[in-house]
Structure formats: C-alpha cells, structure tokens
Structure 1
Amino acid sequence: MKLFLFVFAIFIVVAVPVAEGSRILIAAAHGTKSHQNVYVPLTKELVARGHHVTIISNYEVGEVALLDNVRQIWIEELAIDVSKFPNMFTVMSDPWKKIDMAVKIIETLIKQPSMNAETTYGDPRVQQLMASESFDLVMISEACGLTCYPFGWHFKAPTIAMSPNVLFPGRAALLGDDEHHSYVPFLLTSYTDKMSLYERTINYLTAKFFQTFVHDWHLDTVHSIFKRKINPECPPFIEIEKNFSLVFTNSHPSFSYPRTLPPKVIEVGGLHCRPAKPLPEDLETFVSSSEAGFIVFGIGSAIRMEEMPEEIIQSFIKAFTRLPQRVIWQWKGKVRPDLPQNIKAVPWLPQQDLLGHRNCRGFITHGGLNSLQEAVYHGIPVVGFPFGTDQSHNMGRAIQEGYALKLEWKDITQELLTTAIHDILHDSRYKKSAKRLSAMFRDQIQPPLERAVFWTEFVLRHNGTEHLRLGSIDLAPYQRALVDVYLVMALIFITPILLMFFCVRRCCRRRPAVTDAVKKQQ
C-alpha cells in the first residue's frame, strides 16, 4: 500500500505539470487565409498534447473554433479586402493593368505595416492581453508580421517565427548566415537556382529592395507605434529579431529550391498535407463512375473563379468537353446551366481528399504553394496558371522537377488547354516525376508536423535555443566575408615586396657626390 501511495505521489508530481501544458500565443494577424495552413495543424496537435493556445488572427479559424484550450482574438479589420484590387483575370491579360496592379501592391506594402500596427495595438482585447496575461512561448507569422515581433519580448518568452513560404530576404543574415543571392531565387521572381549574370543581378536587387523597403523601412515606424501604445521601453526590433529562438519555414527540397540554412531554421513544409479522407457521397459517386478518372480545377480562396472573362470560361468548358475524364471545378458563384455532364461545379473543394483519391489523374491550379505541396504529397501532375506573388516561383520549381506545365492566362485557348491537359495525362514523364517527388517527400525521418511539434516543445522545455546561436550574428558583414582577413593577408604578402622594392631603389639611386669626384679625376 505504501509503495502504491509513493508511486501515485510521484505520478502526481511529474504528470500534472505536463498535463496542464504550456500557454502559447500564436500571433498571425496579417496575411491571407492560406497562411493558416502553417499554424492551424500545429495548433490542433499542440492542443491535443495538452497545451493552451491563444490565436490572434485576421480571419476566424473555423477548424479550431470548437476545440478546448483554444482562444481566438479575431481582428476583422485586418482581413484582406480583395474587392479593392482589380479583376485578376483582366490584369493577367493586359500588360498595362499589370503595371497598375504592381503599383497598387507596392502602395499596399508601404502603408500596410503601420496600419496593421495601429489596428493591432489599438485593439482593446490585445491591450488587455498584453497588460494582464503571460505566455510560455510566442509564435509569430512573418507575413507582414513586423507588428508581432515584440510580443515575445513583452511576455519575456522565447519566440518562434513562422514563414508561410521559404526564408524571407534578410532573415538568414540576421541569423548569422549569408543570403546566397547567387543561387537562391527571390520568391517573387520566376527565376530558378540556375541564373545567368543578368538574372543574378536582378535577383539581388529585387531581394534587397524587398528587404529594405518592405521590411527595414518599417522597423522604426512600427517600433514607435508599439512604444506609444504598449510599452515605451521596447528595444529596437532588429535586436529582437536576432534573438528569435527558431524560424519555421514552409519549405522542403521536393517543392522548394534547396539552400544552406542556419541551425535555427527548421523546414516544416507541407505539415498540413495528410492522407485523403472519404468524399461526400455525391462527389464520390461522380468521381468513381468514370473509368478514365477525373481532374481537379481550383485556384485557391483569394480569387473568385466566377469573375473569369466569358471567353476564357468557354475555352475551359470546350476543352473539358473533349475529355473522357470528369472535372471537379471550384465554383463559388451561381452554377452555370451550360456545363456538360462530365463537369461538376462545387463551391467548396475538399482538395486533399480529391487529390488523394485513387481516380485523380491531374490538377489544374494557380500554382499556390500549399496546392503544389498537396499535389506533390499525393503524386499528381499539374497544369499551372500563375497570377502573381510567389506562384510563378513555385511553378518554376515544379517545371524544373518535371511534374508540371505552365500556361499564361493571356494565352488560353481551347486548343492550348486541350494539349496541355493531354500532355500531363498521357506523357508518362509527368506522372513518374510526381510519384518520384511524392516518395521523396514522404520519406522523412519524421513527418513535418511531428517535427514542428518536437521543436516547439523543445523550445518550451529549454526556454529557447541559445546553443544554436551562430557566433557570426555579432559580426559585421565585412567580417563575415573575411574582408578584414584578406586585407591583413594582402598586407603580409605585399609588405616584403614593397620593402625589397624600396631597398633596391635606394641602392640603385644615383649618388651625385661620388659621380662628380670621379669626373674631376678624369
């Protein structure tokens, strides 16, 4: 009996603190809905392990709304209003409207951080949170995330930054590494890791422009707003950034360009990918009744398919009509009466469940990173129609790996569509490449979600990752590049040569007194 009581007491002492879990703040008040794919699966897993999670978001996260131990602070004013932007289908077909769109995006990037800061720090719920609560860990989204940088410092908690894509420009340098512009293409370009001199030059200038004017330029502005509204003693953001415990990137060599990474960077790309679940009965009946299989057609949540110009819609309809395969078409508007029998329009696309279905043959997409990750995970070849942002970059990698074709919206015709779809369905190279990448992506020592959970709890257990901090963080750029060392070596090499030169010159210099005496004797 005494032994039982002793064991029970030990269990209470050890197990209860673990069962209580840690208090985690996820600050992701900016960006698009697709960025939730990085932190929502992680939130669900952390909650299942007994942690308490608070989410600050600009969209309501429906997947975790009913979970215990999850609290949401939903800042509706920060949701992206797509109505302010022109019709993307029209933009992609008109070069002048592309310029107008680029100007509008730059204007938004210039104004957004300060507006985000004023709105976030001015929200009464956030102010109450900052004034009266504490957290063991802060996780921030790096999508326009300057506003979230000081949360970890304020709560005296370690911080994990989460990138919705690859490592952002400037982040590697802050972690003590080089940016590697020579082979790491900037995510808003269509370049690959094999760049010409011209492309490397443009790649460098574009990345530096993004870092300087989208990031560095706003550091002081957002910092001053935080000091005014929340805490006047906040140190410069650049010092806070250098002390992040980890950075999670939504990347993996199977769908992102490989690069060297500092030890504080953990790749967790595709952590939202999962095996397919059973489809709703009507969809299952539709996709299972065709021996030729089916194709999925979706372009994400940010762009409304029904805004597509009628001539492009007709090109798709006519191309799909000629296919023996069936087509699941993401369509949120009123269903068109002119769709042929092999097309089913659905307002909500259970994309992973469709891509993982045994009868899925191909995927037509805008080239969003999450969509391509799911295509790779399920081994499905792709036809991509990028709009902008990182989509051309993503498609460039997909084409390089051999499982995708890219078309431009301005070039769409029935014939071009039919040819592209026929190629990915019947040219075995695309299917083999998709299956090869799927096998590589799944062949990891631990799944990306499990890896993200491990490192999150690692930071909690050890209160940070000081042991992973590179000594180069404290060096100036010229010191990291060994410019001072090269100068010393040059001096060591050049000094003896100079001394020898001056000695020889001195010895060989004409001596007037001796010369004149010799002349007189003659």
Structure 2
Amino acid sequence: MTVFLIYEYFILCTLAESAQILGVFHSPSYSHQTVFQSIYVELSLRGHNVTVGTSHPLNNPRLVNLTEIDINRQTCAIIEEDQTISNLAKELGMYEKMVKFYAVAYKVAESIWSDSRFVQIYNDSGSRFDLVIVQDTMLPLLHPVAFKLKTPLVGVSSNGGWARSHYAIGNPNPLSLYSELYLPYGRRMTLPEKMANALYDIWNRYYLNFEALPKCDQIARKYLGNDIPYIQDIEKNMSLLLLTTNPILYEPRPNVPTVISMEQMHIKPVKPLPKDLKQFLDNAKEGVVYFSLGSNVKSINIPEKLRKVLIEAFAELPYKVLWKFEADDLPGKPENVLIGKWIPQQDVLAHPNVKVFVTQCGLQSVEEAVARGVPMVGMPFIADQTRNIQRLSEEGAAVGLEHTTLTKEEFKNAIFEVVNNPKYKQNVKRLGEIWVDHPLPSLNRTIWWIEYVIRHKGTKHLRSPTADVSWFEYLLIDVILVLLTIVSLALFILYVAIKFILRMIFGGRKLKQN
C-alpha cells in the first residue's frame, strides 16, 4: 500500500514537471521574502523553470532553474522615502495607516510595471507561462499580469489574509468573529471592539471600491492596455490563496477549498554557528537573552529614551545579552552585551543557553522562536505585532510590554518572569507541537497545491459560489425584501378588507337608524 501511494505521488508530480512559473514578490522586507524563497526554491528544485521578481535575490548558482530579477533598489527606495515603517506604527489610527500604505503601494506597483525587465515579460507575445504566483498584500497590485499572460493566478501572503482577499475568494468573514489583520482585537471581541471592527469594515469597503481598487485598475491599464477585466474581477479568479497562518495567532475559520494555510515555511535545519558567536553562547552558562527587532524595525532607529532603558536594564541582568544592532558601535554598551549587525537568528535560538527572546513579535520571528522552543518577551511596534503578542500572552508563551512607556524595572521583571517561570518554556513547546502536527509538512503541502493548479490549469471546479454573489444576495437582503413586501401587502389587504367590512356593518346600521 505504501509503495502504491509513493508511486501515485510520483506520477502526480511528473504531470506538473518542468512548468514555466513567474513569481512577483514585491515586499522589500527580508523576513517576508524568506517565506517566498522557500516556495520558489523548492519549485525550482523539483524541475520547474521559475522566474521571480524579488527584493532579496539568493544568487545561488546551484539553482539552475531559477532566474531572479532584483527589484530591491526601486522598492526599498520608495519604502525609505515614504517612511513606510513609521507609518505602520501601532500608535497611528487604522484609517490613517491604510491610506498612507495604499499611497506607497501605488508607487511600488508603478515601479515594477515600468521595469524594463518586466515589460519584456508581459509584452513579449512569445512568453509562455503555466502559472503566475503573486504576493497578496493590502491591494491586488500585480494580479493582472496573470490575465495578460493567460495563466492561472496564485496569491501568497507571508502573514494572514486581508479582509479584501477573503471577500474576493468567497471566504466567510463575519465581523463578529474576525477582524482586519492589523487590528489588535482578541479571539472574543468586546462590544466596543465589534463596533469598531464593523465601522472600519464599512469604511474599508467604501475606500477600496471607490478609491483604492479603481486606482490600481488605472495603473494596470496604463501598462497592460484597456482589454483587461476590472482588477477586482481578476482577483476573484485566483486559483489559490496561500496564507501563512496557524491555529494560535489566527482564529480558526471555515475556509473555502482554495484557501490553503501554511506555517513555519522558512524554518530551516539548524546550522553550525560562526566560531566567535558559538564561543559567546557556549560560555554563557548563566543563560543568554537574545534581543532583536527584526528586519523592519531596526534597533538603531528606536528612540534614545528606549535605548537608554534597554542598556541600563541589560547592564543589571545576570545573563549575557546578544543584541542585533545595525551599527558598529553601541554607545554605553555594557560588558555583558555582544552586538551584531546580522545574526543567524534561527541557529542562535536553537542554542540551549538562550533562555528568552526579546522580540518585536513579527510573524516570522514568532515562528522561529516557537520552532526552537524559546519563550518570548514581546515589544510590538508596527503592523500585526500587537495582535501577535496578545495571542502569545493568552497562551502563556510570552510576556508583552509597551515600549512607549517602558521602564527599566518593568523590562527586567518581564525577563526574570519568562526565564524563571517554567510555564513559558512548556507552553512554547506545546505550541510548537501543535503547529507541526500535520499529515504532510507545510512546504510539501503548499507545493502539492501549486502543482495541482498547474496540472488542472486552474481550480474553477473548487471555486466557491460566494465569490460570485454580491453582499446584497449573500445576506439574503433580496429575499428579506421580497418577504417583507409580501407580508406588507398581505397586511395592507387585510387592513383594507377589515376597514371595508366595518364600514359595511356600522355604515349600514347608521343608515337604518336614520
């Protein structure tokens, strides 16, 4: 039986062999790119010819089936020029954040559409692709390239799905249960939170339909011509939507068949550490605090007040501290602190002497900590980080802190709590066991579905009917209006009949009296 299953799997894989695949992953964030890299590297290793636009090319000569188009220069310049990371700060209102991010997204889209290397691909009548994989962000910026190339479209996200994406593909998204990705609401929203969530959704739908999506459509038509469908219709025809989710940080939901969940896609086997770093960790018998704010929120850019609090607290800890700091020198650096511009995070977290990970709680950093069994102290700055630390705190795997009001004692107490209380380590291990307990490893499952789309030239047979109905029909407003009309008409007829009968009875009696 086992031999038959292996043979059948081999046959299915060969049916999708040597497909021509185009991938466009425009986010200039390294942590997000690592998720996409895992996918397109595996596709190339399986014999597919893959062309990708990425801000972080691997430049690996051994990947002979992989062609990378480096878009780092233009995308990073736009992100830095518009101060995008600052504009995603959790202190800003959701409306303000989204409008600012949409404005940046338009510029990024234009920079890629106008790139001569992409122009050659989508304007070359001889270009033949079997699949297009596009990063799915707040807007369907580059989805129309799939229509231009006449190929199935797969959307992939390095975090959970946006409400827009769920609506487009027909996924249930009741506002009483699910909030937008960057809203910091818990599993069971309070009444004020549900009201805020509903009001945001109303605004978001209005802004998307009347401002953002028409702008995206206008940009796409500028480069692809007017013979393409409306951009929202292209988005609705996605064959798959691949989301980086898990049952801990994201509420379970009844997904339609074309929504596929991924987790810990970028986790790699542990590799040997550089000699000096290994020596530092090996000699830290008292334990190590690892501090990193990820690839987007850099330690070098945090406020001076916060940096002073961190330095003073680290100096008083009985542990060694490894700090990812993006400069050659850290003024006032305590003797127990080692800094590094770049640190092999997954391998460091695997070291037995690392007791706690102080993190901004980006999804990829959280996945790495859980995979290596390291409890966390969360210090959220932007995007979905507040949401993530709330979930981890509820699970007893982390302690959350507010960086804008942080004191030295609060920071030290949080570290001592996580290091000395065994429940945090136990809960992180429990979460790790849940995340990886699947019949098929996440990467294999993802590749199988992508090749499924290639084999069947799309997934029209799996398309949810909810993707093709308006909210008016979905909520049965038309049925309710018809029923109300019938009831109202019946009541009106009954009223007229009763009035007529009463008039006949009392009107006749009055006539006799006269």
Deviation at 1:405, TM superposition (A): 1.2
Specify whether residues 102 and 384 from structure 1 end up closer, same or farther in structure 2 by C-alpha distance, changes over 3 A only. farther
Note closer, same or farther for the CA distance 1:515–1:17 as it changes in structure 2 (3 Å cut). closer
Cα offsets for 1:158-209 (capped at 9, x unmatched) = 1100122211112222222332221112222221121122111111222443
Measured at CA, do residues 456 and 216 of structure 1 come closer, stay the same or move farther in structure 2, by a change above 3 Å?
farther
Could you tell me which residue of structure 2 aligns to residue 137 of structure 1?
Answer: 131
Specify whether residues 49 and 393 from structure 1 end up closer, same or farther in structure 2 by C-alpha distance, changes over 3 A only.
same
Alignment partner, residue 111 of structure 1: 103
Distance 1:234 1:169 in 2: 24
Change (3 A) 1:215 1:166: farther
| Other-structure match for 1:8 | none
Does the 8 Å contact 1:28/1:145 carry over to 2?
Answer: no
User: Deviation digits for residues 242-289 of structure 1, max 9, x if unmatched?
Assistant: 111000011111332322322211011321123422212221221122
Tell whether 2:175 aligns with 1:181: yes
Distance 2:506 2:295 in 1: 91
Residues 1:255 and 2:252 aligned together: no
Shift of 1:129: 0.9
Q: How far does residue 212 in structure 1 lie from its aligned partner after superposition?
A: 4.1
Q: Which amino acid aligns with 1:118?
A: E
Match of 1:365 among 350, 359, 367: 359
Aligned residues of 2:16 and 2:455 also touching (Cα < 8 A): no
Q: Do the aligned partners of 2:15 and 2:455 also contact (CA within 8 Å) in 1?
A: no
SS in 1 for 2:321: strand
> C-alpha separation between the residues in 2 aligned to 1:320 and 1:402?
24
- Partner residue in 2 for 1:56: 53
- Give the RMSD, CA atoms, in angstroms: 3.1
Unpaired runs of 5+ in structure 2?
1-10
Say yes or no: does 1:240 pair with 2:234. Answer: yes
Task: Give the equivalent residue in structure 2 for 1:507.
Answer: 501
Query: Deviations along 1:22-53, whole A, 9 cap, x unmatched?
Result: 11111112453322122101111111111111
1:121 alignment counterpart: 113
CA contact (8 A) 1:366 1:384 kept: yes
Q: TM-score, normalised by structure 1?
A: 0.87
> Do structure 1's residue 68 and structure 2's residue 64 form an aligned pair?
yes
Shifted more, 182-191 versus 239-248: the winner is 182-191
- Deviations along 1:273-329, one digit per CA (max 9) or x if unpaired, are 234222122212211223333221100112331234444334323322333332211
Work out the CA distance in 2 between the residues paired with 1:351 and 1:120: 31
Match of 1:37 among 34, 54, 60: 34
3-state SS, counterpart of residue 327 of structure 1: strand
Alignment of 1:278-357 (within 5 A): 278-336=272-330, 338-357=332-351
Letter in 2 for 1:227: R
Match of 2:44 in 1: 47
What's the counterpart of residue 5 of structure 1?
none
Between the aligned partners of 1:145 and 1:323, the Cα distance in structure 2 is 45
Separation of aligned partners in 2, 1:519 and 1:208: 64
Give how far 1:502 is off.
Answer: 4.7
Q: Which amino acid aligns with 1:290?
A: A
| In structure 2, C-alpha distance between the alignment counterparts of 1:118 and 1:240, rounded to whole Å | 18
Match of 2:5 in 1: none
Contact 2:28 2:56 in 1 (8 A): no
Distance in 2, Cα, partners of 1:408 & 1:16: 49
Does the aligned pair in 2 maintain the 1:110–1:214 contact within 8 Å? no
Count the aligned residue pairs.
Answer: 501
Amino acid corresponding to residue 407 of structure 2 in structure 1: T
What's the secondary structure of 2:226's corresponding residue? Answer: coil
Offset of 1:127 from its aligned partner?
Answer: 1.1
Cα drift, residue 465 of structure 1: 0.8
1:26 paired residue number: 23
Shift of 1:476: 2.1
2:74 corresponds, among 74, 77, 81, to 77
The aligned counterpart of 2:6 is none
**Does the 8 Å contact 2:325/2:339 carry over to 1?**
yes
- 1:443 and 1:361 map into 2 onto residues whose CA distance is 25
What is residue 203 of structure 1 aligned with on the other side?
197
With over 3 angstroms needed to count, the CA separation of the structure-2 counterparts of 1:468 and 1:360, relative to structure 1, is same
Separation in 1 of the partners of 2:450 and 2:260?
A: 10
Structure 1 position 373, deviation (Å): 1.4
Q: Which moved more, 1:133-142 or 1:301-310?
A: 301-310
SS at match of 1:139: strand
Matches of 1:215 and 1:141 in 2, distance apart?
A: 20
- Decide which of 387, 411, 416 is 1:393's aligned counterpart: 387
Partner Cα separation in structure 2 for residue 85 and residue 218 of structure 1: 18
How far residue 488 of structure 1 moved from its aligned partner, in angstroms, is 4.4
Cα contact 2:137–2:162 (8 A) shared by 1: no
Bigger radius of gyration among the two: 1
Cα distance, 1:479 vs structure 2: 1.6
Asked if 1 retains the 8 angstrom alpha-carbon contact of 2:297 and 2:381, the reply is no
Instruction: State the match for 1:10 in structure 2.
Output: none
Identity across matched positions, percent: 29
After superposition, the Cα gap between the structure-2 partners of 1:325 and 1:215, relative to the gap in structure 1 and judged at 3 Å, is: farther
Q: For residues 185 and 225 of structure 1, do their structure 2 counterparts lie closer, same or farther at Cα, with a shift above 3 Å needed?
A: closer
Deviation track 1:112-149 (CA, whole Å, cap 9, x = no partner) reads: 34323332222211111112212110000012553311
Q: Deviations over 1:195-236 (max 9, x none)?
A: 122111111222443454367623222323332323331111
Q: Tell me how far 1:88 sits from its aligned partner.
A: 7.9
Q: What amino acid is the match of 1:288?
A: D
Q: 1:363 to 1:235 in 2, by over 3 A?
A: same
Check the 8 A contact 1:177/1:472 in 2, yes or no. Answer: yes
* TM-score of the aligned structures, taking structure 2 as reference length: 0.88
Q: Does 1:405 align with 2:399?
A: yes
